[in-house]
Amino acid sequence: MGRIFGRNGMKGLAVTEITCELAMQTGRAVAHILSGKDSRAKFLIAKDTRSSSDALESALCAGICSVGADAELLGEIPASALAWNIREKGADGGIMITASHVNTDYNGIKLFSPKGYRLDDETENEIERLITESPQEIAPVQLKEYGRVIRCENAIECYIERISEIAGADLKGLKIAVDCANGCTSTVAEGLFKSLGAEVVVMGNSPDRTNINTSGSIHIESLMDFVTENKCVCGIAFDGSGERCLAVDENGSLVDGDIIIALCARNMKKHDKLNNNTILATQANNLSLIQFAKANDIEVITAPVGERSMVQKMLECDCSIGGDPSGHIIFPDEMPNADGMLTGIRLLEILKKSGETMSSLSAIIEKFPQVMLNVPIGKKFCEIWKNDRVITNLIEKFEDILGGEGRIIVRETGKEPVIRIRVEGRDFSAINDMAIKIADTIKERTEV
């Protein structure tokens, strides 16, 4: 079996790839590794609105309880609500059943530490070893007492109380649209934004166990029309697990994660809340965000794409905001992981206090054109292509031409190896030619 945990947890086709047997073994391994208390250990389990989530939840419970730990079920709540409840309840860890932004055919499993953060690589690797290489180490043994399944009735109330406490926002006078992607925020987002004073029109809040992510941040086109039709000042869109947040301005134009990070960072700097005068970005962020930071005397640290990598780097550097253009934005001083509703509140608060339109605020950065190409390669060329001087010399040549006005990122990704090429710069024609020449050269140099 290949590696089962990726940069953002375990993900695959529901029940056929992410099987109930695999879920049970995962629950057993998690409880075995993380049960560190003298008293009986407890693990919290939450899920999104997919039809496969119930089956995987039952299997995880079986694994956890079989080693004598308790499983407390929080139901269909955002991933950030799970993370916060882990801290509040003093649990030994947590498991979120979700494939986040992917469609309903897929599902996944994300693991959380007792502090509500994603598990570190070392712990996750040990859990994977027990599942794939040494399952005999966690084989069932006869116990006097096994774990219990407990149903929690107030997890969402605890989370909303926390969000309301840290938000402190007055959104009166704003008419906003909210798209819940038929996911975990469907039962909470409308009420939360109304409690802050906003006039709310909502869509994507009728999950039927098969329609998760048919709208929301992944398919934001529906919200664009919805905002203009309802004459809203802004639209907010989440993904199925409630982690991502993107926005739409009053004209129906996209306000992506780069713009949201820039607006929040400028506001935090103004109010002396930008720790170490620093933001975190990934390779996926547009170069314009880096240029914005430079122009505003803000430092930038970088981390690989993926919540676990981003949070780890932000905690190391005491950074108070970071994220990627897909709307995966983290405020680690306030919540242990990405929280779409918190991000939306922060953005709307800036909009309200500014007295401007969302479209005018979005002009905070000027997006650089991007060209992205994928080049499949044979497995025998994995990593080797990086040492091919013909390829590297060409990339270096183009980087010299772009100077500080552009960027080239070439990286290998995926189980079936693909080279992803992204070129950014002010002149679209020039960067398009560069991307094509790099792609053609890689193809030529990696032919079987």
pLDDT at position 99 over 80: yes
Instruction: Please tell me the predicted confidence (pLDDT) of residue 274.
Output: 98
Sequence-distant (6+) residues with CB within 8 A of 277 are: 269, 297, 298, 299
Buried b (16+ CB within 10 A) or exposed e, 200-228: bbbbbbebeeebbbbbbbbbbebbbebbb
Read out DSSP for 115-146? TSSBPPHHHHHHHHHHHHT-GGGG-----SS-
Q: What is the pLDDT of residue 314?
A: 97
Task: Say whether pLDDT at 383 is over 90.
Answer: no
Catalytic (active site) residue 100:
yes
Mean per-residue pLDDT for 206-226?
Answer: 96
In the prediction, which pLDDT does 447 show? 80
What pLDDT score does 429 carry?
95
CA gap 70, 62 in Å, rounded:
10
Distances (CA, A) of 359 to 73, 167, 247, 278, 409: 42, 23, 11, 25, 30
- Per-residue pLDDT tens digits for 131-174: 999 999 998 889 889 999 999 988 998 898 889 888 889 999 99
Q: What's the whole-number mean pLDDT along residues 253-274?
A: 97
Listed residue (177, 268, 284, 280) closest to 224, CA to CA: 177
Residue 433 carries which side chain, given as an amino acid letter? D
Q: How far apart are CA 136 and CA 52, in angstroms?
A: 28
Mean pLDDT score, 55-71: 97
Write down the pTM of the prediction: 0.91
Residues in a beta bridge with 9:
6
* SS3 state of residue 199: strand
pLDDT, average across residues 6-17: 91
Q: What is the rounded distance in angstroms from the CA atom of residue 83 to the CA atom of residue 77?
A: 10
Percent of the chain with pLDDT over 70: 98
Residue 1: pLDDT band by 50, 70, 90 thresholds? very low
Answer for the pair 342, 335: CB distance below 8 angstroms, yes or no.
yes
In the predicted model, is pLDDT for residue 448 greater than 70? no
Closest CA to 58 of 45, 49, 67: 45
pLDDT at 295 over 80: yes
Closest CA to 433 of 389, 402, 390: 402
Evaluate whether 348 touches 276 at the Cβ level (below 8 Å): no
Length of the chain counted residue by residue: 448
* Beta pairing, strands 370-376 & 106-112: unpaired
Q: Buried b / exposed e across 367-386, counting CB within 10 Å, b at 16+?
A: ebbbbebebebeeebeeebe
Tokens 């950030």 -> residue: 80
pLDDT at 4 over 70: yes
Instruction: State residue 305's pLDDT score.
Output: 86
Is 70 exceeded by the pLDDT of residue 414?
no
Q: Which two tokens stand for residue 173?
A: 């006078």
Judged by DSSP in three states, 427 sits in coil
Q: pLDDT band for position 20 (50/70/90)?
A: very high
Q: What average pLDDT does the structure give for the chain?
A: 94
Pairing of strands 10-13, 93-97: unpaired
Mean pLDDT score, 358-372: 95
Catalytic residue among 66, 80, 100, 362: 100
